[in-house]
Amino acid sequence: MDDVVVHVEAAINPTENEEKVRRAVENTFGTLETQVKPVGSGQFLIGEATSRQALVKFRNLLQREHIRAAARTVLIRGIERTSVIFCLNKQVAFADHISFSTEPNESPLGPLLVEIKTQDPRQIVEYLTAY
């Protein structure tokens, strides 16, 4: 499980502050290597880490929020070959909490789109949601 890449993307809407979007990502995954990229007429904050350490804060949040069982369901549904893909509510992440978004448009300001790449996605889900 040491070969893990955590990739997070979030739109920076014209009404949003880039630092607040960055803080939403950092509140959930700690300090990631981030960059802002122009996409069409907008911008995206893209964060990436290449170690399981980036998942520790997320795992602790799932435990603190008492949502490991619900998270397990969402994460298992998000398994695609060698990845786990899911969305988080950006506004809730900014407030240092976790709320999964099942639809990308569910969050008015857009979600944090997360992809965890690993050879064994089920093992990652188990690590994140184990009691």
Domains of the chain: 4-129 (3.30.1440.10)
Q: Mapping DSSP to helix (H, G, I), strand (E, B) and coil, where does residue 45 land?
A: strand
Q: What is the pLDDT of residue 41?
A: 82
> Going residue by residue through the chain (131 aa), what tens digit of pLDDT does each one get?
568 999 999 999 998 999 999 999 999 999 899 999 998 888 999 999 999 999 999 999 999 999 999 999 999 999 999 999 999 999 999 999 999 997 767 777 899 999 999 999 999 999 999 98
What does DSSP assign to residue 29?
H
Question: What burial class does residue 128 get, using C-beta atoms within 10 Å of its C-beta: 0-12 exposed, 13-18 middle, 19+ buried?
Answer: buried
pTM of the model: 0.93
Identity (one letter) of the amino acid at 36? V
Q: Give the separation between CA 2 and CA 9, rounded to whole angstroms.
A: 22
Q: What is the pLDDT of residue 96?
A: 96
Check: CB of residue 27 under 8 Å from CB of residue 96: yes
Q: What is the pLDDT of residue 2?
A: 63
